[in-house]
Amino acid sequence: MAPGTIAEDEPSSSVVFPKQDAAPTLYQGLDEDELRAKSEKHLLCYGSKFHRDVITGSRGLYIYTASGHRILDWTSGQMSCLLGHGHSEIVKVIYDHALQLDHLFSGMVSPPVISLGHRLCNALPEGLDKAFFLSTGGESNEAAIKLAKVYTGKFEIVGLGASWHGMTAQAQGTQYHFGRQGHGPLMPGMHMLPAPNAYRSVFRKPDGSYDWEAELEYGWRMIDLQSCGSLAACIVECIQSSAGMHVLPPGYLKALKKQCEARGMLLIVDEAQTGVGRCGDFMAINHEDVVPDILTLSKTLGNGLPLSAVVTSDDIGRVSAERGYFFYTTHVNDPLPAAVGDKVLEILFRDGLVAHSRAMGHVLHAGLRRLHARYGCVGDVRGRGLMAGVEIVADRASKTPALELAKEVGDRAYELGLWANLSSHPSFGGTFRIAPPITVTAAQIEEGLDILDRAFAQTPGTLPLY
């Protein structure tokens, strides 16, 4: 099967699945105003305003509103639907396991969990030998940090500025992008390295280029001054997505691991968004040729279902078990989401989607660079594979974030039929975060690029250069 296509095999059950190019009908014909009124009356705000449109369907690369608007989804839901919405093979796995093997006592093990562990660990570098499976990225990072604390016998954790690792206590304590205020004391022993932002960092060489080595050395000097001598681990994303799609500079991850080893710390790499082919490699760590002590996955592994993973070495697993490591949840190693994750990996390797993601990434970034050349408000284009950031500024000389302009461009793109995530929160700095499903075709990328081009052209203040 060619990359980017969707299998149409009928399941063994009597359920008939619609074709992937057909508009969903499950919630067709509902009154959007009535739905919105009920939403405003009964749904509690959890930190983000709800989008005005009510989404009533999703299929393939598109989402649909109650008013019938079809929108190209360039963020894969919440950066998660790696293979697109409603992939028929994934739907069949969900149906079969909902019918025959859905949820078990947390101390039990089942074939899909064993198969996922086998397939995942065999695809990862040596030293990432054992895995267990949870629900969310925050949960997997919570578990990874606790694992590092038990293994090392220490408690201080280092994170990067502008990081995002989740909403649980340990994960939130080591994230510095947003969400640290208003909830009382955070976990003790949390420290921050400077965010590796090549576009805005003040650390510069005489020629003006980004001096990340000096910045990293400075950061560790500050950590050593703050530490009480109990440094356990450092957690990092290879591409800081919530920060605005900032890619770690080449060599940064290797240097970070050396700094950790010099202090007897573990390195935790959070691949919630970068993993499972998204960046043109199976894992972003493959691109950097670095094996962390602990790897965490979520989002892409479950194709939109709540599934995350913690993967580590035989040694860390053995020693931590001997020391009483404990992370027991209602949905640990649940069979249904594990079966979905196993199928995601099967499809990924069977259909050559890692190479396809890399190739489509070239198409995407070439198109975004054309927009950079055409509109002066595009300050920076960055990313790797099918992860991209487009930062909007008032002008390129000052690099002043143009938050309102970015919102206007994003709103116009949405009206024209493209969803490219732009947070309204100022901490994002007016950056579009683009991550379409890796089954995307070149034609669909060009469709989105054309919409984005028209959105820039139709929005006052985008500073056209020709």
Count CA within 13 A, CB hemisphere, residue 6: 27
Q: Which residues pair with 383 in a beta bridge?
A: 388
Residue 195 one-letter amino acid: A
Catalytic residue, chosen from 20, 172, 259, 273, is 273
Catalytic residue, chosen from 73, 119, 139, 164, is 164
Residue 239 one-letter amino acid: I
Catalytic residue, chosen from 92, 149, 299, 382, is 299
Cα separation, 253 vs 257, whole angstroms: 6
- CB proximity list for 367: less than 8 A, separation 6 or greater: 445, 446, 449
Cα separation, 388 vs 240, whole angstroms: 11
DSSP notation for 27-46: TTT--HHHHHHHHHHHPPP-
Q: Edge-to-edge strand order for the sheet containing 387-392?
A: 378-384, 387-392, 431-434
Please answer whether residues 333 and 106 qualify as being in contact, where contact means their C-beta atoms are separated by less than 8 angstroms.
Answer: yes
Q: What tokens appear for 7 in the block?
A: 């299998």
Q: What tokens appear for 322 in the block?
A: 């001997």
- CB proximity list for 313: less than 8 A, separation 6 or greater: 127, 128, 129, 130, 293
Residue 35 one-letter amino acid: L
Cα separation, 24 vs 62, whole angstroms: 10
- 12 to 16, 123, 242: CA distances (angstroms): 10, 29, 41
Catalytic residue, chosen from 73, 237, 288, 391, is 237
Catalytic residue, chosen from 89, 142, 211, 270, is 270
Catalytic residue, chosen from 257, 382, 384, 433, is 433
- CB proximity list for 317: less than 8 A, separation 6 or greater: 129, 130
- 270 is an active site residue: yes
What b/e readout covers 435-447, taking b as 16+ CB neighbours within 10 angstroms? bbbbbbbeebbeb
- 34 is an active site residue: no
Q: What tokens appear for 326 in the block?
A: 């404990």
Residue 60 one-letter amino acid: G
CA 338 from chain centre, in angstroms, equals: 19
Query: Could you tell me which of 247, 269, 277 has the C-alpha nearest to residue 81?
Result: 277
Find tokens 């019918």 and name the residue: 99
- 299 is an active site residue: yes
Report, as residue numbers or ranges, the catalytic residues: 164, 237, 270, 273, 299, 433
